[in-house]
Amino acid sequence: MSPFQTLKLPNGQLIGNRIAKAAMEENLADTRQAPDRELFQLYKAWAEGGAGLLLTGNVMIDRRAMTGPGGVALENEEHLERFARWARAGRAGGAQFWMQLNHPGRQTMANLGQQALAPSAVALDLGQFSKMFAEPKPMSEADISEVIRRFAISAALAEKAGFTGVQIHAAHGYLLSQFLSPLTNRRNDRWGGSLENRARLLLEVVKAVRKAVSPQFCVAVKLNSADFQRGGFDAEDARQVIEWLNELPLDLLELSGGSYEAPAMQGEARDGRTLAREAYFLEMASELAGVASMPVMVTGGIRRLAIVEQVLDSGVAMAGIGTALAVEPHLVKHWREGRNSHPQLPAIRWKRKPLAALASMAVVKFQLQRLSRGRKTHPQVSALWALIVDRVYIAKRTRQYRRAMGG
């Protein structure tokens, strides 16, 4: 199948081609957690780049629950005109532009000064880096109801601002993913225990979001094909959750994998599996795509057109690209023009895996920050330097966040 063929979604909307700019956390919000000119500039570059679908990085449904201090939050209409400008920037080239909605759960940095909420009091296990994250508090029924309500409110606001869809983030170890995993969900009420109970929050969020938006507005889910941790959420669990999602009006399912503890989305697993250098999750995704009634997208390490074609030939409807588009935002346009581009960042092979994962994210953010200022990317930047720059930036944004929150 041609990567440049259109895709018709279940709600009738069209995506211009089969390549998506996958979500990457930008950390470029202003001090009020609203989108600002740097985000507008960044998405202008991607809008010109030719991908059929653009997904934002994390947009948080609660500014008290952030994955990072420079993140965007959408809780009410206070900054809706800023969001409308962001939507116009992302849609300028004709792409679908969807907002990724998220809640971090226990993956909340301790220095932000906020109470981390989670299904159970199971802290992150990152060795000596574990203290970087807040101790999680088990959620009450009221907390769970509030999260469902907030997802719906943020989705309705995204539509009002001019985005064409939302993606509900239920992967990478964030809150909805934490409920799905038996390692992090030790509850014995209707939200825990059996897979049916553990999946209840995700299904209720999807229903609430779908009810809050119009039929032509796209609703998608990002789900782990597996957590890549022994005893965690696995491919069989994913298969069953997809069968339940089939019963709901979903327009796209993105399959990824991993969490902060096992960053499979960066090519690292914790359960002994070896992940391919490109299209990390393709084998599982192509099997799971056969179960899904909605189109499936796979993300993870893709940077060559030949791999995109391999993804599509496997029965997966879309290929999501993250890092390669951070390095070369016009990559899809170059492929259309017949150029054999395959941008990549140098591998980071530090012995301390959590530090290497932080450095990998820092190198990507370094590229995003350059693009947000209208500058060319610098793929060969030193990983150590990028990490230092990122830590200084995060420290500054953390102080600003705590001041804004009265902490």
Domain ranges of the chain: 7-344
Q: Helix 141-161 vs helix 80-91: angle between axes, to the nearest 10 degrees?
A: 60
164 HSE (CA, 13 A, CB side): 21
Token look-up 């001041």 returns 403
Do strands 116-118 and 96-102 pair parallel, antiparallel, or not at all (unpaired)? Answer: unpaired
CB 145 within 8 A of CB 179: no
Alpha helices in 181-318 (DSSP H): 195-198, 200-212, 235-245, 282-289, 305-313
CA gap 91, 113 in Å, rounded: 36
CA gap 281, 299 in Å, rounded: 7
Per-residue model confidence as pLDDT tens digits over 4-50: 999 999 999 999 999 999 999 999 999 999 999 999 999 999 999 99
For residue 262, what pLDDT is reported?
54
Token look-up 């948080």 returns 60
CA gap 320, 147 in Å, rounded: 27
CA gap 275, 199 in Å, rounded: 26
For residue 260, what pLDDT is reported?
62
Which residues are paired to 100 by β-bridges?
58, 167
How would DSSP label each residue in 243-267?
HHHTTS--SEEEEE---SSS-GGGT
| Vertex 291: Cα angle to 99 and 21 (nearest 5) | 25
For residue 277, what pLDDT is reported?
43
Which residues are paired to 133 by β-bridges?
109
Name the helix (H) or strand (E) containing 226.
none
Q: Given 2.30.40.10, 3.20.20.70, 3.30.420.10, 3.40.50.1000, which CATH number is that of 7-344?
A: 3.20.20.70
User: Which amino acid is located at 401 in the chain?
Assistant: Y
pLDDT average per 10 residues of sequence, the chain (407 residues): 96 98 96 97 98 98 96 98 98 98 96 96 84 94 98 98 98 95 96 98 98 98 77 86 97 82 46 41 79 93 91 93 96 95 91 87 96 97 97 96 90
Torsion of CA 136, 142, 147, 151, to 10 degrees: 180
pTM value > 0.85:
yes
Name the helix (H) or strand (E) containing 372.
helix 353-372
Which residues are paired to 21 by β-bridges?
54, 321
CA gap 15, 17 in Å, rounded: 6
CB 369 within 8 A of CB 392: no
For residue 228, what pLDDT is reported?
59
239-244 long-range CB contacts below 8 Å, 24 or more apart? 239/288, 239/291, 240/195, 240/199, 241/180, 241/195, 241/199, 241/202, 242/288, 242/291, 242/292, 243/291, 244/199, 244/203
Do strands 72-73 and 53-60 pair parallel, antiparallel, or not at all (unpaired)? Answer: parallel
CA gap 120, 111 in Å, rounded: 21
Terminal CA-CA length for the chain? 53
